[in-house]
């Protein structure tokens, strides 16, 4: 995709203005196997990515590739039902575009979800992990290239990329909803091949609790745009890389992500009630 990022955001927003209605309070990016949250929206309006001007189209399994607006647990939100990944061939700037669009639609906060493999052996498939920080091993950054001060500062601070106040609110909501919520560090790789056992042991030694192929580029863009972020990982498979490491399958990943997705929905219901 060519042209400035600001121009791309403006064109995408102009193509949506008459279709999405009132401004939204929050943006939510749904990861692999988590698209079912869109079914809970009241008064939904869905726009396929292919109908948004200049917008990339998601091709990953379990990603519907639609922007859906409506009311979720009483709050007006915009859901990205399916995200974009480096492994699909999209650039970091392409992947960041939805974040800037959500901000233009009025979102005052961003919730990112993903399916992730458990580097920490104490994280069980089907569990939910609250992302406290991340490790970017993708080799990509959406801010590489010409500075665009209209979108944000040249050197955004990432020391609190995952908003402390939102993390505390999520912990309270999880307790109220009876959802066990572990805290951890999300390690991102480019994919699409799943990691070798040696890579998984390295990522764990580097401080990672779970590993996936998304999220960090979106969070960098959110920091650039001044959007507070809450990150939640659906633990989809065991990925400790030990001698008993079993092969993974996309079917297993989707099934475990769906289990965790139900818990994430319960957490968000409580979170939005107290927002």
pTM of the model: 0.94
Per-residue pLDDT, 60:
64
Confidence of residue 63 (pLDDT cuts 50, 70, 90): low
First to last CA, the chain: 37
What's the whole-number average pLDDT of the chain?
93
pLDDT at 160 > cutoff 90: yes
Lowest mean pLDDT of 124-133, 208-217, 248-257, name the range: 248-257
Q: Where are the domains of the chain?
A: 5-274
- Give 212's strand partners: 188
Distance CA 24, CA 104 (A): 9
Average pLDDT over residues 61-74: 84
Per-residue pLDDT, 253:
85
Per-residue pLDDT, 18:
83
pLDDT at 95 > cutoff 90: yes
pLDDT at 33 > cutoff 80: no
Average pLDDT over residues 85-110: 96
Q: Considering the domain 5-274 in this protein, what is its CATH number?
A: 3.40.50.1580
Distance CA 158, CA 265 (A): 27
Distance CA 207, CA 171 (A): 21
Per-residue pLDDT, 117:
96
Exposure string for 141-179, b = 16+ CB within 10 A, e = fewer: ebbeeeebeebbeeeeeeeebbbeebbebbeebbeebeb
Distance CA 266, CA 275 (A): 14
pLDDT in tens, 171-221: 999 999 999 999 999 999 999 999 999 999 999 999 999 999 999 999 999
pLDDT in tens, 2-13: 679 999 999 999
């Amino acid at each position: 995709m060519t042209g400035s990022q600001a121009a791309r955001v403006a064109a995408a927003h102009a193509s949506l203005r008459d279709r999405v209605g009132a401004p939204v309070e929050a943006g939510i990016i749904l990861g692999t196997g988590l698209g079912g949250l869109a079914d809970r929206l009241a008064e939904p309006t869905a726009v396929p990515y292919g109908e948004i001007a200049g917008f990339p189209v998601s091709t990953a399994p379990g990603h519907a590739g639609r922007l859906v607006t409506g009311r979720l647990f009483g709050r007006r939100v915009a859901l990205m039902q399916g995200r974009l990944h480096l492994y699909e061939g999209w650039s970091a700037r392409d992947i960041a575009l939805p974040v800037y669009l959500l901000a233009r639609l009025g979102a005052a906060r961003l919730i990112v979800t993903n399916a992730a493999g458990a580097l920490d052996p104490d994280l069980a498939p089907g569990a939910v992990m609250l992302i406290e920080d991340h490790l970017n091993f993708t080799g990509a950054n959406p801010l590489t290239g010409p500075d665009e001060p209209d979108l944000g500062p040249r050197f955004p601070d990432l020391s609190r990329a995952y908003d402390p106040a939102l993390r505390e609110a999520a912990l309270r909501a999880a307790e109220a909803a009876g959802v066990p919520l572990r805290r951890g560090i999300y390690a991102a790789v480019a994919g699409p091949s799943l990691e070798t056992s040696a890579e998984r042991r390295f990522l764990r030694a580097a401080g990672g609790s779970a590993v996936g192929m998304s999220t960090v580029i979106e969070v960098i863009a959110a920091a650039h745009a001044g959007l507070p972020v809450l990150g939640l990982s659906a633990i989809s498979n065991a990925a400790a890389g030990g001698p008993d490491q079993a092969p993974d399958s996309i079917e297993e990943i989707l099934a475990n992500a769906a289990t965790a997705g139900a818990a994430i929905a319960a957490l968000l219901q409580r979170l939005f009630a107290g927002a």
